[in-house]
């Protein structure tokens, strides 16, 4: 089967991204691997067999979004100081998005910045989080509110690490793939509709295409002054969902899936997306067992939560919407409160 995906010109991508068999990694400096207690028992031996370094240490943190906070950052940093890492040392993020975001953040902070490498082990981090240099932690005010823009020097994506990924987590990654397709590439969306990319050969192509779409956007707008914000499709709503459920009930990708359905509802309301297309997106999310309907307890409280989102500025909330159907996008910060409340009420 020929895969109908247009690939982006290599030269357009300034990130050093390798997809496929993990190569042997040789370092003539000190290296610390940051991983978590779920990934370590499954894959750490494999990783360590691929690394040669002057001095190698491993910092294992607890698995879970609830540990994505400053306390864990300080724990990791203390371990790096104890291991006497210096300005020429390298960190390796080995895990999902949480490990990647925190390792990158620590790399940005340690002695005002050392090199780091991403080796993502979840679908979500392989297709999205490991590329683009957004690092940081959550706090009581919301998600990723404290952090840095800090680019990895390399990203190694090894699909074999996904073999042990629970299907629920696989679905969470699928949500970000669908996000990319809905916003940027109708042909890719149609392709995704036509295949089951739990199939391995298909999966590698899907990862490649998603990473390329992501890298292309980040290339154009690293600091999210413009188009990069489109990657937050589903996230304006999703972050509120995660916040309301204290990051415990849903995986990030699951919250994004439900957030996309809300965003679509707003797009439909504004005449920017047809009901058919909206249904088609929701159907696809369901195919991968993603939750699509968040039940809002208190519409006004949900609405108030928007204003702490990073995407809100000068009391305006940015919504990422379709702009006439799948494969199109627009950033809108002029949505009337009354329209929003109306849309939110459909999820009560």
Q: Which residues carry out catalysis?
A: 112, 134, 176, 214, 224, 228, 232, 235, 239, 252
152 binds a copy of itself (CB under 8 A): no
308 binds a copy of itself (CB under 8 A): yes
81 binds a copy of itself (CB under 8 A): yes
Q: Cβ 311 to a copy of itself, closest distance in Å? A: 8
328 binds a copy of itself (CB under 8 A): no
146 binds a copy of itself (CB under 8 A): yes
Q: Cβ 309 to a copy of itself, closest distance in Å? A: 9
134 binds a copy of itself (CB under 8 A): yes
The answer to whether residues 231 and 179 touch, using CB atoms and an 8 Å cutoff, is yes
Distances (CA, A) of 121 to 126, 167, 210, 237: 7, 14, 16, 26
Binder of a copy of itself out of 77, 83, 154, 227 (CB under 8 A): 77
Q: Cβ 115 to a copy of itself, closest distance in Å? A: 12
User: What H or E segment, with its residue span, contains residue 241?
Assistant: helix 235-244
Round to whole Å and give the CA distance between 123 and 211: 11
148 binds a copy of itself (CB under 8 A): yes
116 binds a copy of itself (CB under 8 A): no
User: What H or E segment, with its residue span, contains residue 301?
Assistant: helix 299-305
Binding mask of the shown chain, residues 83 to 102, with x at each position contacting a copy of itself by CB under 8 A: -x-xxx--------------
Distances (CA, A) of 165 to 47, 68, 122, 300: 16, 20, 7, 37
Identify the bridge partners of residue 26 per DSSP, sorted by sequence position. 52
Binding residues for a copy of itself, rule CB under 8 A, total 36
The answer to whether residues 102 and 152 touch, using CB atoms and an 8 Å cutoff, is no
Q: Which is nearer to a copy of itself, 109 or 183 (CB)?
A: 109
The answer to whether residues 68 and 99 touch, using CB atoms and an 8 Å cutoff, is no
111 binds a copy of itself (CB under 8 A): yes
Closest CA to 165 of 174, 153, 152: 174
Residue 96 sits at φ, ψ, to 5 deg, of: -90, -160
Binder of a copy of itself out of 20, 21, 313, 341 (CB under 8 A): 313
List of residues 6+ apart from 330 with CB closer than 8 A:
272, 320, 321, 322, 323
Q: Scan residues 259-298 and list those touching a copy of itself (CB under 8 A).
A: none
Contact set with a copy of itself (CB under 8 A): 29-30, 54, 70, 74, 77, 81, 84, 86-88, 108-113, 134-136, 139, 141, 144-149, 223, 307-308, 310, 312-315
């Amino acid at each position: 089967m020929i895969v109908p995906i247009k690939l982006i010109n290599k030269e357009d991508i300034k990130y050093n991204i390798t997809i496929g068999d993990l190569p042997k990694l040789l370092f003539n400096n000190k290296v610390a691997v940051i991983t978590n207690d779920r990934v370590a028992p499954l894959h750490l031996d494999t990783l360590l067999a691929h690394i040669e370094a002057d001095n190698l240490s491993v910092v294992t943190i607890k698995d879970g979004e609830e540990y994505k906070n400053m306390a864990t950052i300080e724990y990791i940093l203390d371990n790096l100081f104890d291991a006497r890492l210096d300005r020429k040392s390298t960190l390796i993020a080995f895990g999902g998005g949480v490990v990647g975001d925190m390792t990158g953040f620590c790399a940005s902070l340690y002695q005002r910045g050392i090199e780091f490498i991403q080796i993502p082990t979840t679908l979500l981090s392989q297709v999205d989080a490991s590329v683009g240099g957004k690092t940081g932690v959550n706090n009581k005010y919301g998600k990723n509110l404290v952090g840095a823009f800090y680019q990895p020097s390399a990203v190694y994506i090894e699909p074999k690490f996904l073999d042990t990924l629970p299907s629920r987590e696989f679905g969470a990654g699928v949500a970000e793939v669908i996000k990319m397709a809905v916003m940027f590439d109708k042909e890719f969306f149609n392709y995704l509709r036509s295949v089951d990319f739990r199939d391995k050969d298909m999966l590698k192509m899907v990862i490649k295409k998603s990473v390329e779409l992501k890298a292309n956007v980040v290339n154009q707008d690293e600091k999210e002054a413009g188009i990069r914000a489109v990657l937050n499709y589903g996230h304006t709503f999703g972050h509120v969902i995660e916040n309301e459920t204290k990051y415990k009930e849903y995986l990030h990708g699951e919250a994004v899936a439900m957030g996309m359905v809300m965003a679509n509802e707003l797009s439909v309301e504004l005449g920017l997306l047809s009901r058919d297309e909206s249904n088609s997106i929701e159907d696809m999310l369901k195919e991968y067992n993603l939750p699509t309907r968040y039940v809002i307890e208190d519409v006004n409280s949900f609405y108030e939560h928007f204003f702490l989102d990073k995407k809100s500025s000068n009391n305006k909330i940015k919504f990422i919407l379709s702009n006439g159907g799948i494969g199109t996008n627009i950033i809108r910060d002029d949505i009337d409160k009354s329209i929003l409340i109306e849309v939110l009420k459909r999820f009560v």
